[in-house]
Amino acid sequence: MNMAKKNDKRKIVGLVCEETGHRTYYTKKNTMNTPDKLELRKYNPLLRRVTKYVETSKSLGRNEVKARKK
């Protein structure tokens, strides 16, 4: 029985509202298929309407492998 391999092609990215600047949503993105930034229309709970969300350029610290302490 073969187990599925864990590939690191999918990265966790944060989505920031262009109007308020709050990072409300997080999603996974396949960097091989979509190298450019994501732009999605999602509900903003602060403004209580649908706004444009863009992928952050900041590192979230979840995709890097941390070195083990000896």
pLDDT in tens, 10-56: 888 899 999 999 998 998 888 889 889 999 999 999 999 999 999 98
Whether residue 3 has pLDDT greater than 60: no
Cβ(63)–Cβ(11) below 8 Å: yes
The CB density around residue 35, as the number of other CB atoms within 10 Å, is 8
Task: Give dist(CA 31, CA 4) in Å, integer.
Answer: 19
pLDDT at 66: 63
CA distance 37 to 57: 9
Going along the chain from its start, the domains and CATH numbers come out as 10-55 (2.20.28.120)
